[in-house]
Amino acid sequence: MVCPGVLSQLLLLSLLSSGTTGVNEVDLNALEKIITHIENTYQLTSGQNVIQTAVAVRFPADQCESGQLNPEKHLPSREDVISKIQNSSKDRVFVGENLVAARPVGKGDTAHHSEYILLGKIRDDIKTTPMNYLTSDHLNDCVVFYTYNSPCVNQCLNQNKQRYILPFVERLWETLTGPVAFVFNEIYQGTENVEQLLSLANKVFLYRCHNDNCVYCGKTRETLQASNCVATGE
């Protein structure tokens, strides 16, 4: 177990040595407010199980830096989003001015995971990816990318797979200049490869928001472990 003082020093060193430049962190109070709204409003369940969903939102930068924001007024209604991503929807994607959302489509090696759908899949109706549509004219805004489960190491973080998301993440984050965050809640079963998660953490400000508490994961093996961003024992 790492004591709070040591954890703070590790996170500070991680930030200072970070390759993530040109962007700012999102205020933690604002981030917790955003994630709580996403999970309470747009998350779907099946019985006791939460259905994997990825959601990205955009706010004016000053709202994310100060924590003075109102997601209910700024983001679309639950009905508008759910109608597009529920089971009966053709491709389970919602594309709006301030929010994009997706659920996985397909199974196995041919599946399109929700993170890839938002980051890397070009849509015919908008001639670009949902994330590019959300951010291209608003590069200075605050952008929060949320996925319920951490990206899987078998496909999303596997450089040998066709739908490897890291190049899309890196390309997008290089263009953004406002506060940004990449957030997950649960550690996906099988995501025990610290090195692969580190490859993502070194490109973005990575957070785990779990049980109404958001923690910065850092950019080293030590901070990922100390922040409970990887499975115990990794």
CB 147 within 8 Å of CB 184? yes
Alpha carbons within 13 angstroms on the beta-carbon side of residue 38 total 29
The mean pLDDT value for 128-157 works out to: 95
- The 10 Å Cβ neighbour count of residue 164 is 17
Confidence of residue 155 (pLDDT cuts 50, 70, 90): confident
Q: Residue 192: what pLDDT?
A: 58
Mean local confidence (pLDDT), 13-37: 71
pLDDT of amino acid 219 = 92
Residue 233 has pLDDT above 90, yes or no: no
- Which tokens hold the place of 17? 């040595």
**Residues found in the chain:** 234
**What is the Cα–Cα distance from 200 to 204, expressed in whole angstroms?**
7
Q: Say which DSSP state 109 is in.
A: G
Residue-level pLDDT at 73: 94
Q: 3-state class of 194 per DSSP? A: helix
Instruction: Please report the pLDDT score of residue 10 as a whole number.
Output: 37
Residue 232, pLDDT score:
67
The string of pLDDT tens digits covering residues 183-216 is 999 998 755 578 888 999 999 999 999 998 999 9
**Cβ 189 vs Cβ 171: under 8 Å:** no
